Amino acid sequence: MEAAGPLLLFVGLVLAEALVALIVAPYAAHSFLVVVEETAAGNDAVVWPDEPFVDWVWKVFYAAWLAGIWLGPVYLVLRRIEPAPLGETPLWKWLVAAAVLWLLFPISLLSSLSAASTWAVLHGPLLGRMVQRWPAVLTFYGLSAAVVASGGLGVATALSAEWYALLPAAVGAAAAFLIYARLLGRLGWVLRRAGAAESRPRRQSPPLGVSRSATLPQDPAGNGHAEPTTDEEARFEVRQARRRRPTDPPPTYPFFSGVFHFPVYPTTLGAWAKLTVGFGLLSALVRLQVDLMPG
């Protein structure tokens, strides 16, 4: 019976972590995508869409798909090099996986948002614009590396330092999360402008952040564009319709203006607070579980 107590506590903590993650993950995915898309469309302040919670759930799978398409092969290769149980994975393997995700996830997300299919992970025209705007791409990767590293360091500190470090670590991690989304959106904005400046001798997918309505078939009755015929087209149109409002003036410095103080925008403070609570609660549960583990 004495052994049953720690086991029940462990199971209870796992269930609590799962429950919190089921709430935090959809909101985090929703917030991340809204910030990226709104920023890429040229909007300074984010206007949060009025969507029910159930509409956020699919975004978790969407983000997991874009990340897993790269992490899956990395896992297989690293496991082939040096097999090890998940709980005993060397630190260098985690760093390699994080580096691959940092390098390729932005390309996949921007490709998906600019391609005709939501599930596309690479989009040729976008890759061409990235080569064309390589200074902006390098700036994004340099700044995003610092942001990701600072956020990761905060999480590692929260899980290993004193309990009082949990709150500032959660605040910092939530801020880093929003700043990274802002940087990625600004990269999308730069690439969108590059695409808009190109001459298009043939029809192709519109650049990131530009409504695809101009390329949809016309209604034969002369009432404008025909209605979307698939769920994917309908989702795309709904997502883009709220971004057809007049955009704000272009930022003077795309990767600095309105970026690092973005979390304190009046329209972003609520999201920052909610993410802080979610990340902090998850960190506290994980920390408690680690502290209670034997050895």
What average pLDDT does the segment 69-98 reach?
80
**Whether the Cβ atoms of residue 189 and residue 283 lie closer than 8 Å to each other:** no
Residue 202 lies in a domain: no
pLDDT digits (tens, 9 = 90+) for 204-215: 555 555 444 444
Asked whether residue 84 carries a pLDDT value surpassing 70, the answer given is: no
pLDDT grade for 57, boundaries at 50, 70 and 90: very high
**Whether the Cβ atoms of residue 257 and residue 173 lie closer than 8 Å to each other:** no
Residue 166 lies in a domain: yes
Give per-residue burial for 110-129: e unless 16+ CB within 10 Å, then b: bbbbbbeeeebbebebbeeb
Q: pTM for this structure?
A: 0.81
Residues 6+ apart with CB under 8 A from 33: 59, 62, 63
**Whether the Cβ atoms of residue 144 and residue 183 lie closer than 8 Å to each other:** yes
pLDDT digits (tens, 9 = 90+) for 225-265: 444 445 554 544 544 554 555 567 888 899 999 999 999 99
Phi and psi torsions of 18, nearest 5°: -65, -40
Domain count, the chain: 1
Residue 102 lies in a domain: yes
* Predicted pLDDT of residue 179: 97
Residue 47 lies in a domain: yes
Q: Across all residues in the chain, what is the average pLDDT?
A: 81
Residue 145 lies in a domain: yes
The better pLDDT of the pair 286, 155 is held by 286
- State which residues form the domain around 164: 4-197+207-292
* Predicted pLDDT of residue 246: 58
Q: Which two tokens stand for residue 1?
A: 């019976």
pLDDT grade for 290, boundaries at 50, 70 and 90: confident
Asked whether residue 218 carries a pLDDT value surpassing 80, the answer given is: no
Asked whether residue 221 carries a pLDDT value surpassing 50, the answer given is: no
* Predicted pLDDT of residue 245: 56
CA 112 to chain centre: 12
Residue 251 lies in a domain: yes
**Whether the Cβ atoms of residue 71 and residue 100 lie closer than 8 Å to each other:** yes
Which amino acid, 97? A
Q: In whole angstroms, what is the distance from residue 235 CA to residue 41 CA?
A: 17
pLDDT digits (tens, 9 = 90+) for 158-181: 677 677 788 888 999 999 999 999
The better pLDDT of the pair 15, 237 is held by 15
147 Ramachandran zone, left/alpha/beta (phi>0; psi -120 to 50): alpha
pLDDT digits (tens, 9 = 90+) for 101-152: 999 999 999 999 988 888 889 999 999 999 999 999 999 999 999 999 998 8
pLDDT grade for 196, boundaries at 50, 70 and 90: low
**Closest to 106 in 3D by CA, of 53, 21, 36, 170:** 36
Asked whether residue 40 carries a pLDDT value surpassing 80, the answer given is: yes
Residue 189 lies in a domain: yes
